[in-house]
Copies of this chain bind each other. A is one copy, B any other.
Amino acid sequence: MAHKLTKLYPWLSTPAIISAPMLGAATPALAANVSKAGGLGFIAGSTRPEALADTLQQTANLTRTINSSYNRKPNNDTLPVGVGFQLFNTSPSTLTTAFATLPVPPTAVWLFAPTHPSDLTTWSRSIRASTSNKTHIWIQIGTVAEARAAVELASPEVLVIQGSDAGGHGLAKSASIISLLPEVLDMLSSINRRDIPVLAAGGITDGRGVAAALTLGAAGVVMGTRFLAASEAGIAPGWQREITRLADGGVSTTRSTLCDRLKETKGWPARYDGRAAINRGHEDEEGGMSDGENVRLYREELEKGDEAWGASGRMVTYAGTGVGLIRDLKPAAAIVEEVRSQAKEVLERVAGAYGSGRAGAGARL
């Protein structure tokens, strides 16, 4: 399946490392530098065509050198970055209008959170028609049933399997990738669509997680939280400080709709919530505070800047359970290269210890 991905994205090195289209955080520089390091970067789509066209143009300017610096066979038909959309608050015409202003469209569009499953059909048709099939359709799912529906409704080039550990928005109820990913692959086999590459997302922050995803059957991984600690991430320093400070991610973060209510974000289909670091807002809610009062305090604290972040702060600090494994900020390219080489080293070492077919490594140790 990695084979299929490098055919689709010829600059890609394996294991394939993809940066998630995180709203605000996934800047043109972050996405471009991930792709330039042999990964695939995503920017987050805007609901306004002009803003989207502008962001894509900035990204195009930053990725001009990709083919020469990575010595890959050129792929001049598309921009070597993708763009992600929340379907419930955007229309396909936002994309097609923006794409029409660019010399080449992005290599992939990532579809997430449709109001109705059939929106996947409308969007994928519209995108494919407007780019003469040059732009690939990626669909993010969180259950086996969603994966099956996505394949039947839109025949995506890539499926992104998001498990319960992921930071930010996702299904309120789902398995982690440990069981979800293999079950999706078995379902794809059963409908003869094992040709679709499947990526793992949720809880992966280093080479150990990447190696685990690959053994589960993934063709590569998507990381979000890890790239929040990239130098290029478009988030507040306070948020970045929290990403490197937080430990024990399963209990220092929680899934809730509180963050949408604090930010007064409307329209998320009811099946979604978001994983974020637990802070004063969560504690006050648990203590019985009304949303009105919690929103008022949140807005008041918005003025405070950096000190509004942290366990006693109120800022919305999206983070996955892998946050406890992130201890430093570094350039996106360094993250990609480090994680990729660690994954290879781990696979080699563990297979050497357990593999049956290698000299000197028996079944017992």
Interface residues, chain A, CB within 8 Å of chain B? 2-3, 6, 13-15, 142-145, 163-165, 171, 173-180, 182-183, 186, 202-206, 208-209, 211-217, 247-251, 254, 320-322, 324-325, 341, 343-348, 350-358, 363-365
Contacts and interface: CB of A to CB of B under 8 A. Distances in A.
Most buried by B among A215, A216, A358: A215
Nearest to A147: B248
19 contacts: A2-B365, A6-B364, A14-B363, A143-B251, A144-B324, A163-B176, A165-B175, A165-B178, A176-B177, A176-B321, A179-B209, A183-B322, A183-B324, A209-B216, A211-B212, A212-B216, A215-B347, A347-B347, A348-B358
Contacts of A202: 178
Given A2-B353, A351-B352, 4 more contacts: A2-B354, A3-B365, A163-B178, A215-B350
Contacts of A357: 348
Nearest to A362: B14
A182 B209 contact: yes
Given A215-B350, A350-B215, A179 B164 contact: no
Given A248-B143, A355-B351, A176 B182 contact: no
A213 B352 CA distance: 15
Given A145-B251, A173-B250, A250-B174, A354 B365 contact: no
Contact of A182 (B182, B208, B343): B208
Contacts of A175: 165, 203, 249-250, 321-322
A186, A211, A357, most chain B CB atoms within 10 A: A211
Given A325-B186, A350-B351, A351-B347, A250 B208 contact: no
Chain copies in complex: 2
A14 B364 contact: yes
A321 B205 CA distance: 22
A214 B216 CA distance: 11
B364 A355 contact: no
A198 to B, nearest CB: 12
Nearest to A353: B2
A165 B247 CA distance: 20
A328 to B, nearest CB: 13
A320 to B, nearest CB: 7
Contacts of A325: 179, 182-183, 186
Contacts of A250: 142-143, 164, 171, 173-176, 179-180
Point out which of A176, A321, A346 has the most chain B C-beta atoms below 10 A from its C-beta. A176
Please list the 10 inter-chain residue pairs (A to B) with the smallest Cβ-Cβ separation, ordered nearest first.
Answer: A175-B250, A176-B176, A351-B351, A175-B321, A211-B215, A178-B203, A212-B212, A179-B322, A174-B250, A179-B203
A274 B28 CA distance: 44
* Most interface-central of A15, A179, A322, A363 (chain B CB within 10 A): A179
A280 to B, nearest CB: 18
Contacts of A214: 215, 350, 354
Contact of A179 (B205, B216, B347, B355): B205
Contacts of A206: 182
B144 A247 contact: yes
Contacts of A364: 6, 13-14
A37 to B, nearest CB: 13
